[in-house]
């Protein structure tokens, strides 16, 4: 539960919300801002919508996830529900004319297979007691599961647009630059590509209107205890070509990535023989 002071901050102060899908650098963004001593409250969430909350409740009702994962998920769910109500109320207050600063939102996007694969390893307790359970075959089975990518493909429509009123699809995204800043009456939103994180100091500094002197890398897969298993699965994982083509043809991937970039991922993740046939 949020403390009374936090609730007041969320309603009336300048607030920075790191609000994005998992495994796109949110912890690095938050740690970098805190390292720079940004004098504003910083909050980090992966979802705020009722749709995502229902999905979490559905998973909690299943018998598969570990009790440790369920406990963390319940805590996050309770906090998310309270936070989303406050954000909606803040939006209503601003539209009523209260002099409340615009909400600063930082969000990101990433190659979908890479995103879900990284999430599987981060939350391996949902699948088995040890990370060794995450073989390439087990990951493939999970990735091909019904509805695995549905909410992720629609994240900007399900999450960002309802809470900020900003539709990122209305304007062309600059693929070469890798980030864009959007603004309306209620919010300012920075959207960046995971592949542009090496330019974090540049685009984060532009958005925050301050100089970012150094970065604080956090929660990197390569530094995790499961790094070797993760690397091995990334190298060997292959998925049906039709599935991969459909995935990278979704609205989100078409908007944020060029045809050439999406074709590169299709060749990387599709079963070799089919990928070769498609490219000839």
- Please provide the average confidence, as pLDDT, over all residues in the chain: 88
**pLDDT tens digits, 43-66:** 999 888 888 878 777 777 765 666
3-state helix, strand, coil in the chain (%, to 5): 60, 10, 30
Residue 96, domain member (yes or no): yes
- pLDDT above 90 coverage of the chain, percent: 57
At residue 275 the predicted structure's pLDDT band, cuts being 50, 70 and 90, is: very low
Residue 28, domain member (yes or no): yes
Q: Which residue has the higher pLDDT, 79 or 224?
A: 79
Burial of 98 from C-beta contacts in 10 A (0-12 / 13-18 / 19+)? exposed
Instruction: Tell me what pLDDT residue 53 has.
Output: 79
Predicted TM-score (pTM) of this structure: 0.88
15, pLDDT greater than 80: yes
Question: How many domains does the structure of the chain reveal?
Answer: 1
Instruction: Tell me what pLDDT residue 223 has.
Output: 65
Residue 280, domain member (yes or no): no
Domain containing 174: what range?
Answer: 4-115+166-213
CB-based contact 184:164 (threshold 8 Å): yes
Residue 155, domain member (yes or no): no
67, pLDDT greater than 80: no
Residue 185, domain member (yes or no): yes
**pLDDT tens digits, 143-164:** 998 777 888 999 999 999 999 9
In this structure, of 83-97, 120-134, 161-175, the range with the lowest mean pLDDT score is 120-134
Residue 194, domain member (yes or no): yes
Instruction: Tell me what pLDDT residue 218 has.
Output: 65
Q: Tally Cβ neighbours within 10 Å of residue 54.
A: 11
Residue 156, domain member (yes or no): no
Residue 109, domain member (yes or no): yes
CB-based contact 207:106 (threshold 8 Å): yes
How many angstroms separate the CA atoms of 128 and 64, rounded?
8
């Amino acid at each position: 539960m949020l403390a009374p002071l936090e609730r007041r901050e969320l309603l009336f102060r300048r607030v920075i919300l790191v609000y994005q899908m998992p495994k796109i650098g949110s912890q690095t963004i938050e740690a970098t801002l805190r390292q720079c001593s940004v004098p504003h409250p910083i909050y980090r969430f992966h979802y705020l919508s009722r749709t995502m909350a229902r999905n979490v409740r559905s998973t909690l009702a299943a018998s598969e996830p570990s009790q440790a994962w369920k406990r963390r998920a319940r805590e996050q769910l309770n906090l998310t529900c309270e936070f989303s109500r406050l954000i909606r109320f803040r939006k209503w207050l601003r539209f009523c004319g209260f002099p409340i600063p615009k909400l600063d939102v930082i969000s990101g996007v990433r190659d979908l297979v890479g995103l879900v694969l990284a999430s599987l390893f981060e939350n391996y307790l949902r699948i088995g007691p040890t990370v060794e359970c995450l073989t390439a075959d087990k990951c493939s089975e999970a990735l091909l599961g019904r509805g695995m990518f549905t909410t992720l493909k629609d994240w900007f429509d399900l999450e960002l647009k309802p809470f900020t009123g900003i539709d990122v699809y209305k304007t062309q995204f600059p693929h070469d630059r890798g980030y864009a800043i959007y603004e309306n009456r209620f919010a300012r939103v920075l959207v960046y590509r995971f592949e542009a994180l090496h330019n974090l100091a540049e685009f984060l500094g532009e958005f925050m209107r301050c100089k970012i002197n150094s970065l604080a890398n956090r929660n990197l897969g390569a530094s995790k205890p499961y790094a070797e298993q993760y690397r091995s699965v990334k190298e060997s994982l292959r998925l049906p070509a039709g599935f991969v083509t459909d995935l990278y043809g979704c609205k989100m991937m078409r908007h944020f990535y060029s045809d050439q970039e999406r074709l590169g991922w299709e060749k990387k993740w599709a079963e070799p023989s089919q990928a070769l046939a498609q490219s000839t």
